[in-house]
Structure 1
Amino acid sequence: MDLMYFELGWQHILNWEGYDHILFVIALSAVYVVNEWKKLLVLVTAFTIGHSITLALSVLHIIRVSSSLVEFLIPVTICITALSNIFRRNEAPQHLQLNYFYALFFGLIHGLGFSNYLKSLLGSQANIVKPLLGFNIGLEFGQLLIVGVVMLISAIIVNIGRVSRRDWNMFLSSATFGVAFLMVIQGVRELLK
């Protein structure tokens, strides 16, 4: 693993200028509480697998998608995930299959968003395996930091503040949806130019 790319990966995911990926991880995390950390870890890893696949395919020039389309689709994935959280009937996720689908499939879309950044870093480098692995592990590390912060805040609000789990999910998912919806509108404007 290339440590430089590992560092670039976690710094990229935690960069406030790319807050769309942070919002998606928050949306994935919103319905979970601390004692469900294992389920959430698997979910975030499914997201990493999804974006690793398209990141590799894009860096290898096997697939190419318009960056304006990707920048539109990323907030759409956040909106869908947040809405799914809002309309969830149970407080605790009972069947994770839909969540895993969201994480894996939407990870494919998010990987295309990471690809332009990574392609610019790699340039014409011949061997991309180590940098790609380092970058992906760095992204996973950054995502786990975000999950940790969300879980800490969730524990404080739900367990100490005595806010119901459902109310916390509604607040966090609605706020995430609102920000992402504004990004969707901006993406539509960019697509129509």
Structure 2
Amino acid sequence: MQTATLAASRRLAAAGRALTATCTLLAALAIAASAQAHGVGEADKAFIEGSSGIAILPYMYLGAKHMVTGYDHLLFLAGVIFFLYRMKDIGTYVTLFAIGHSTTLLVGTIFDIRANPYIIDAIIGLSVAYKAIDNLDGFRTMFGWAPNPRAAVFVFGLFHGFGLATKLQDLTLSPEGMIPNLLSFNVGVELGQFMALGLILIAMNIWRLSGSFQRSAIAANAALMCAGFVLVGYQLTGYFTQGA
């Protein structure tokens, strides 16, 4: 009995150390990534501001590049599919996210609908934390109620798309070919999303087959929640010090 208790205590301590290390690593990555989340690199910025006319393939490339390097998107999508096993369910949630993301990206940029980018990016960080809490059934445990997961993914998809729109609004987009270029950019974003999602699914399925998935699921979602709250804190700090 004492041996079993001691072994359990050691496993718990080891899990705690692993979780602390993971949270620290994710926090560092989140801080580094948040500086570029939804951002536009200097070379890409120079291309966008210097180009005129329709450039379908370059804008598709830029859209795909944005998605596969957008750590906040990837963390959120990883949380969304974490406990989804059927491709039908995965397709439903990813489609809802894509519709939301595409809507605000296009509408926000075309009609120049503006909001403070720090606040939008803080909400995006909150989406990551939300999904981790939802995966842990934290809302039902604490409040006896949980948000509708499909509606939540769609709504947060709106904020993810609006986050990029706020960055594109800071650039001088040529009116010549702007609509086709934005549509091409959005197609690239969705293609990049499917590419990234495919890699995440492969890694997730390998993990699920390893036998450690169930033992590590709680710690992984706790780390995901930690990363989301770090993103929120980082963006709110930027808002109060620079963007208010």
TM-score by length of 1: 0.82
Question: Residues 61 and 185 of structure 2 are in contact (CA less than 8 Å); yes or no, is this contact kept in structure 1?
Answer: yes
The structure with the largest alpha-carbon Rg is 2
Matched, 1:73 2:127: no
Specify the code of the residue in structure 1 equivalent to 2:157: G
**Superposed displacement of residue 62, structure 1:** 4.5
Question: Residues 31 and 169 of structure 1 are in contact (CA less than 8 Å); yes or no, is this contact kept in structure 2?
Answer: no
Q: Map 1:91-130; keep pairs closer than 5 Å.
A: 98-119=148-169, 123-130=173-180
1:10 is matched with which residue: 40, 64, 69?
64
Q: Give, in whole Å, the separation in 2 of the partners of 1:168 and 1:150.
A: 17
Per-residue deviation, residues 78-112 of structure 1 (Å, max 9, x unmatched): 111111111179xxxxxxx9232122100111111
Q: Map 1:149-160; keep pairs closer than 5 Å.
A: 149-159=199-209
1:173 alignment counterpart:
221
1:163 alignment counterpart:
212
For the aligned residue pairs, the C-alpha RMSD in angstroms reads 2.4
SS at match of 2:113: coil
Question: Residues 60 and 187 of structure 2 are in contact (CA less than 8 Å); yes or no, is this contact kept in structure 1?
Answer: yes
Specify the code of the residue in structure 1 equivalent to 2:229: F
Classify 1:167/1:102 alpha carbon distance in 2 versus 1 (closer, same or farther; 3 Å): farther
**Superposed displacement of residue 128, structure 1:** 3.0
- Which has the higher relative contact order, 1 or 2, with Cα contacts under 8 A spaced 6 or more apart? 1
Unaligned runs of 5+ in 2: 1-54, 140-146
Q: Give, in whole Å, the separation in 1 of the partners of 2:112 and 2:120.
A: 16
Identity %: 27
2:237 alignment counterpart:
189
Number of aligned residues: 180
1:92 alignment counterpart:
none
**Superposed displacement of residue 170, structure 1:** 2.6
**Superposed displacement of residue 167, structure 1:** 4.0
**Superposed displacement of residue 187, structure 1:** 1.9
Question: Residues 25 and 143 of structure 1 are in contact (CA less than 8 Å); yes or no, is this contact kept in structure 2?
Answer: no
Question: Residues 82 and 176 of structure 1 are in contact (CA less than 8 Å); yes or no, is this contact kept in structure 2?
Answer: yes
Q: Give, in whole Å, the separation in 2 of the partners of 1:3 and 1:120.
A: 22
Matched, 1:29 2:77: no
Q: Give, in whole Å, the separation in 2 of the partners of 1:186 and 1:121.
A: 23
2:6 alignment counterpart:
none
Q: Give, in whole Å, the separation in 1 of the partners of 2:138 and 2:116.
A: 33
1:94 alignment counterpart:
none
Classify 1:156/1:143 alpha carbon distance in 2 versus 1 (closer, same or farther; 3 Å): same
Unaligned runs of 5+ in 1: 90-96
Matched, 1:51 2:119: no
Per-residue deviation, residues 48-96 of structure 1 (Å, max 9, x unmatched): 110111111211235211111112111011111111111179xxxxxxx
**Superposed displacement of residue 139, structure 1:** 1.3
Q: Give, in whole Å, the separation in 2 of the partners of 1:145 and 1:134.
A: 16
**Superposed displacement of residue 47, structure 1:** 0.8
Q: Give, in whole Å, the separation in 2 of the partners of 1:150 and 1:172.
A: 14
Q: Give, in whole Å, the separation in 2 of the partners of 1:152 and 1:171.
A: 20
Question: Residues 31 and 85 of structure 1 are in contact (CA less than 8 Å); yes or no, is this contact kept in structure 2?
Answer: yes
